Chain A
Amino acid sequence: MNAKNNNVDQLIEQYKTLPGGLLPLLHAIKHALGYIPESTLGSIAKGFNLSRAEVHGVISFYHDFNTQPVGHHRVQICRAEACQSMGSRQIESHAKQSLGIEYGETTSDGMVTLEPVYCLGNCACSPSIRINDDIYARVDKSRFDQLISELNMPELDKVETSS
């Protein structure tokens, strides 16, 4: 945890003078750690001359930010209307059932966190899902299963998880 907080301290230094730098900082922390640890809120608040409550308020406002660790892969299913018109509700229930988790949860092996997303801008080839930074179009149940089966546990993170 200390290494993580040191990393965050460097990022705070980098972003605290940027106008409106809090969101870019939170994105950077999330990019580095996968989430924004509660233990870093105090340093963020100090760096930005805000109260801890204000930082918490910003984090909790946005769907993208979370203060709990997430899985190695973030799988998002589009719930918006264009995807619904092409059967995304079936993909949602299939995903929850096959992964054994609800939205906002992570599989027990730490591999996948499932989240809803409201529009990936890929609405002419629905249903769409996003896995990390990759978007997939015209996803049906078998395509979903195939994409999930291709996911790997990153080697580097394996070490970190087991340590």
Chain B
Amino acid sequence: MYDSGKIIPGLIIFVLFITFPIWYNHGDAGAVPQPELPKNVKECVLPITEMRSDHMQLLNEWRDEVLRTGDRSFDVKIGDKMYQKSLMNTCMQCHTSKKKFCDKCHTYASVKPYCWDCHLAPVE
């Protein structure tokens, strides 16, 4: 190989450069987000682990049932009370702060759900 003295160090520098984010953070994912949970309520619609992983699917199902199927019944059970399927009128009544709840994880995971383009976040 011609110019191996330049090419090999060049390649090494290149690889180091593009893997910079990996070795600079050396496997540290940063501080885990701590969304603020409602204080006076202990239960949610589903167990907390399921809510963590599947709340987006749940919201989509609610949306389709309410809007397209027209099923607006109060069939969501939280504790011993029944609620309607609604982001604004059910979820955000307990989770009263979008900034301290939704945004905490969404910012960390760099996801930008378009819910709030139309739906109204609680006043804070």
- A and B interact: no
**Residues of B near any A CB (own CB < 8 A):** none
Query: Measuring CB to CB, which residues of chain A are less than 8 angstroms from any residue of chain B?
Result: none
